[in-house]
Chains A and B, each alone.
Chain A
Amino acid sequence: MRYHTPASFEDAVEIAAQAEGITRFLAGGTDVLVQLRSDLVTPDDLIDIKHIPGTHEIVQNDDGSWTLGIAVTGAEMSEHAGLCAVWPGLVEGMDLIGSTQVQGRATLVGNLCNGSPAADSVPGMMAAGATVSVMGPEGGRVVAVEDIPAGPGRTTLTKGEVITAVHIPARGEAAGDAYQRFIPRTEMDIAVVGVGVSLQLDGDVITEARVALGAVAPTALMVPDAAAALIGSTLDEDAKAKLAAAASAACNPIDDKRGTIEFRTEVAGVLACRTAQRAYDRAQGKKVAKHV
């Protein structure tokens, strides 16, 4: 295995594009090292992209949007008061991954590119309308987060392509987001169902909504029908019933030891309503307790 520490994304792309064997990019390493040590994936070329300038920065741009470097850790996001105030749901999704120790290393882009359908940070990013910059041998492109996962352990990135930054939109007044997951324990577990919701209100009425589900299909899903059930409502009981039905209808889960198909499908509906309520309360400026 060759270990590379390129000083620019151009160099990283060149190394990856010319590599002939298995290539992995190394950010936080919380998945790559586990796969390496268990002999599941032994890269011929391991490209550590944390030495590239700017990759550790959280920047709020002049238009209010955010740019997060690919090496920003979960702990750094949770400690960033400005980001937590504006996108609490996106941050709480990331914060649910693993232990304090894992939070010291794990990154948004690593969680996305590992390709787990249950990745906790992904529904929150999708609900927020986050995009990523991708650089490859043919040049650069900007891709919606929901277009990166292709299936368990797979992404739509092609040979030599690397994500260079995460972009999170500006947030207006009267807006809120939330992420919740169901796990059988209280901490340190993998989502059985995860839901991300982002809402924009006008008074009490929801004018914009984005709903994303995790762990109930081969990739995290955007659920436009669930968003449509919320738009124009005040999150009344009728809207919640339609939201739950739309969320459950979108599910295409597996049966495993964590949950059956029936269980995941029902919980998706219940959790969508609870998560929407948290996003709605935040949009109205109410204090919503974060998990510890």
Chain B
Amino acid sequence: MSKIHVSTTVNGDPVDFLCDPRETLLDCLRDKLSLTGAKEGCGTGDCGACSVEVDGRLVCSCLMLGAEANGKAIATVEGIADGETLHPLQAKFIEHAALQCGICTPGILVAAKNLLEKNDSPTEEEVRYWLAGNLCRCTGYDKIIKAVMETAADMREAS
């Protein structure tokens, strides 16, 4: 079967890869580009562990074909930190221990960053609804929500 040539940018870097038409963007990120931050939890768009941004829009990379990424700008959890300097959300997640096994964490970081870029002062209810598509089976969510709310407050103060 002939492969499809895809030209895209991932975290600002131009990237080219060949993929089978059936392969998802998640497959391509993990298996072709070795960006394993995005995880496959369910593969059906329910768990959010594969969350990435496509042209600034939060999506499940398991619900998008690699071929559809042609010409798009993709952002993954690998691009969140600035070199060795963690993003404030990452630092706050560590401070609050807002993770245990860590499978859901990359998706939640990407989703929370996307929220804070649209809304710098979300209510707790807004954070909970925004992250309703990111399932965590370890923490019970409270630490995650608290970390996001505190990061938003810190970033408002710093700006």
A residues neighboring B (CB under 8 Å):
1-3, 26, 29-30, 33-34, 36-38, 42, 46, 48, 50, 73, 75, 98-102, 104-105, 187-188, 292
Residue B157 at the chain A interface, CB threshold 8 Å: no
* Interchain CB contact (< 8 A) of A102 among B43, B65, B133: B133
Interface of B is mostly: mixed
Q: Which of B54-95 touch A at CB < 8 Å?
A: 54, 57-60, 62-65, 67-68
Q: Which residue of A lies closest to B129 (CB)?
A: A292
User: Chain B interface: which size bin?
Assistant: 20 to 34
Residue B102 at the chain A interface, CB threshold 8 Å: no
Q: Which of B1-54 touch A at CB < 8 Å?
A: 4, 21-22, 24, 43-46, 48, 51, 54
On whether the beta carbons of A99 and B22 are closer than 8 Å, the reply is no
On whether the beta carbons of A188 and B132 are closer than 8 Å, the reply is yes
Known contacts A99-B132, A105-B64, A292-B125: A3-B21 contact under CB 8 Å: yes
Known contacts A29-B64, A33-B63: A101-B24 contact under CB 8 Å: no
B residues neighboring A (CB under 8 Å):
4, 21-22, 24, 43-46, 48, 51, 54, 57-60, 62-65, 67-68, 111, 114-115, 125-126, 129-134
Query: CA separation between A152 and B54, bound complex, in Å?
Result: 32
Q: Which residue of A lies closest to B22 (CB)?
A: A1
On whether the beta carbons of A98 and B133 are closer than 8 Å, the reply is yes
On whether the beta carbons of A36 and B132 are closer than 8 Å, the reply is no
Q: Which residue of B lies closest to A36 (CB)?
A: B22
Interface of A is mostly: mixed
Residues of B within 8 A of A98 (CB): 45, 133
On whether the beta carbons of A33 and B62 are closer than 8 Å, the reply is yes
Known contacts A188-B132, A292-B126: A102-B22 contact under CB 8 Å: no
On whether the beta carbons of B126 and A102 are closer than 8 Å, the reply is no
On whether the beta carbons of B67 and A105 are closer than 8 Å, the reply is no
Residues of B within 8 A of A36 (CB): 22
B64 to chain A, nearest CB (A): 6
Q: Which residue of A lies closest to B1 (CB)?
A: A1
On whether the beta carbons of A38 and B63 are closer than 8 Å, the reply is no
* Interchain CB contact (< 8 A) of A105 among B59, B115, B126, B130: B59
On whether the beta carbons of A188 and B133 are closer than 8 Å, the reply is yes
A78 to chain B, nearest CB (A): 12
Residues of A within 8 A of B129 (CB): 100, 187, 292
Query: CA separation between A102 and B51, bound complex, in Å?
Result: 10
Q: Which residue of A lies closest to B27 (CB)?
A: A37
On whether the beta carbons of A30 and B132 are closer than 8 Å, the reply is no
* Interchain CB contact (< 8 A) of A3 among B24, B57, B67: B67
